[in-house]
Structure 1
C-alpha cells in the first residue's frame, strides 16, 4: 500500500523526535521542536549527540531532503506529531483547532478580506496550526502574519511549523493581553482561550473588565484584538456557544455594539466536540469606521456534519448568495 506524503513526514518527525527525546532527556514536544529545526536548517544542531545517533538522524532527514513536500503536507504531519506529544504533555487551553475548522476559517478569511496583501494576527497562536492553515488557503495572496503566545514551548513549535512551511511569521512570546508591539492589522484569527484572566490589575485597563473578581480572558481577547485592528478590519473568532450568555456578558454586548458590526455567526457541528457544553461557533466581526456599513442582515448558519458533502455544499451556496447580496 502506498504511503502518503503526510504519513512519510510524520514517520520522520515522530521517529527522530523519539531519538532526540531519549538522548536529550527532554519531553517529546521539546524534541519535536529540535528535530523540526534540524530539518529546516538542513543540519543537526545538537552538539552533544553520539556519532551513532547523528547517523540515525541523518538517514531519516535525507528522506525529507530528497522530496519536495507541500506546505499543507508539512503542516498536517507536524500537527499529528504535536497531537501525539500533547497526550503526554497535557496543557489546559491548548487543544488544537480541528483541521476542518481551520480550513473553514481560511475559506472565510479568503471571502471577507479582499486585498491582495494583508496583515494577519493570531493573539493566541499556540503551535501555529490555525494561523498557518489560514495562510495556506489564501490563493497566492501575500500575508504578513503575526502570532503571540505566553507559552515559550508552543511559540517554538509555531516557529518551526512556520519555517517548515516557508511562511514569514513574526512571533512574540508574551502575555497577549499586555500592550503589544504590533502595528494595526487587517484581520485577526483566534481560537479564543476560555477561562478567567488572573491579572486583575491588567484587566482593569479594559472596558470589558468584570465589576468584581477575575474577568473572562476570552472577553478580554476580543477587546485586545479590536485595539490592534484597522477600521474596517475583521475578527474571525472561534467562540464558546455561550459567549453572550455568561454573567459577564453585559459589558461584552456593550463593547461589541459600540465598536463592531456583527457579520456572521456560524455554529459548528456538535460532533466536533465530546460534550455538547463545549460546542463552538465562528463569530465574524468588523471594526466600525468611516464609510463602514453593517450588512443588511448577518449571515447566520448552522453547519451540518462536515462529512455530509451534499449538506455542506448547500451551506456554501447559502454563504456565496449572502456575499453576492451583502458585499
Structure 2
C-alpha cells in the first residue's frame, strides 16, 4: 500500500512540475518572440534562481511567474525533474525538429545507467565525459542512478541545447562542467574513466580539423561518428570504458574496415547489445550499445565479447533474465 501511495505521489509531482514549466514557457512565448525551447530555458532559470533579468511588463511577468508558484524543488526527486524537463524539451523540439536534436530514449538512458553502475562498481569516485551531451538527458539520467562521487563533463556546439543542459543540471542539483564547442577540437578536460555518447551521425564539415585524425576519410568528408569515437578514446584513461549508442550500420560503410582496425588497435571490444527493433519506426534507424575498454597494462581482452539482442524493455521477465546473464558476464570479465 505504501509503495502504491509513493507511486501516486511521484506521478502527481511529475504532473505538477511539467504543468508548471509548460504553462510558464507558453506564457513567456506568447509575450515575446522566443521559441518554446528558449522560453523553457528562461523558465528553468527563473525556477532555479528565483529571479529573471528579462525586461517584461508587470502583467507579462506575473503570467510568467504564476505557473511556477506551486513548485517546490526540494519536494521533487531529481528523476521526476529530469523526466518532466525532458518531456517539455521534446514538446519544444516538435516546433523545429533537426536531425541532431534527437533525444536518447528514456529506457535506453536508464539501461546505460545500469551498465555504467556495473562497470564502476569497485570505484569510489569516477570521471565521466559525454562529448555529445545535447540537452543533458543521458548524462543526468546516469548521475541520478548512481550513488558514487562523480565528476562529469559535457560538450555541445549547439547553444540552445547547451543552455537546456545547463538549466536541467541546475534544477537536478548536479555539478556538471559544460563546454560550448565542437567536440572534435581540443577539449580542456583531463582523461576520464568513462565516456558515454549517443553518437551524432553524418559527415564532418571541417576538413582541416579532420586531417589530424587517424580515422579521416581518404577522400571527401570524414564521418563525424568515426572521428568522435577516436576523440573519445583519446580522452579516456588507460583501462577506462567507452559506451556508445551506434547505428546498426556502423560497420557497413566504405570506411568500416579502417574504423574496425583502429578500434582493435586501441581498445578491447567488450560488448555489442542490439536494442529492440520495436523501439524504432524504421529499421534503418535501429541502434546498439557498443562497449569498449581502452587497452592498458594488466588488462586482458575478454575471451569472448558479450553479443546480444535485447528483448523489449516492456517484457520484464525476458529483460530480467537477460540482465542476470549480463551480470554474470560482467562480473567475470571486469573484476
TM over 0.5: yes
Q: Which residue of 1 aligns with 2:35?
A: 27
1:232-271 alignment, distance < 5 Å: 232-271=239-278
Structure 1 residue runs without a partner (length 5+): none
Preserved contact between residue 42 and residue 52 of structure 2 (Cα < 8 Å): no
Task: Say whether the 8 Å CA contact 1:209–1:251 is kept in structure 2.
Answer: no
Distance of 1:189 and 1:32 partners within structure 2: 26
Is 1:135 paired with 2:143?
Answer: yes
- Give the C-alpha shift of residue 52 in structure 1: 1.8
2-side partners of 1:58 and 1:214: how far apart? Answer: 48
SS at match of 1:93: helix
Matched, 1:111 2:111: no
SS at match of 1:306: coil
Distance in 2 between residues matched to 1:108 and 1:179, nearest whole Å: 28
Number of equivalent positions = 325
Given that 1:38 and 1:45 are in contact with CA atoms closer than 8 Å, whether structure 2 keeps it comes out as: no
Q: 1:15-94 maps to which residues of 2 (within 5 A)?
A: 15-46=23-54, 48-65=55-72, 68-94=75-101
Q: Which of these residues, 149, 157, 167, is aligned with residue 164 of structure 2?
A: 157
Counterpart secondary structure, 2:68: helix
Aligned to 1:183: 190
- CA deviations 1:221-241 (Å, max 9, x no partner) are 000000011000110100001
Q: Is the 8 A contact 2:238 2:295 kept in 1?
A: yes
Q: Quickly say closer, same or farther: Cα 1:66–1:296, change in 2 above 3 A.
A: closer
Cα distance in 1 for residues equivalent to 2:260 and 2:331:
28
> 2:25–2:64: 8 Å Cα contact kept in structure 1?
no
Question: Which residue number corresponds to residue 322 of structure 2?
Answer: 315
Map 1:93-104 onto structure 2 (within 5 A). 93-104=100-111
**Offset of residue 296 of structure 1:** 2.4
Superposed CA RMSD: 1.3
Gaps of 5+ in 2: 1-7
Contact 1:44-1:54 at 8 Å conserved across structures: no
Q: Hey, what's the Cα distance between the residues in 2 that align with 1:52 and 1:44?
A: 15
Q: How far did 1:49 drift?
A: 1.2
Q: Distance in 1 between matches of 2:40 and 2:13?
A: 18
Give the equivalent residue in structure 1 for 2:3: none
Q: What's the CA shift for 1:67?
A: 5.5
Report if aligned partners of 1:198, 1:214 keep a CA contact under 8 Å in 2. yes
Q: Deviations over 1:170-200 (max 9, x none)?
A: 0011111011111111101100001111111
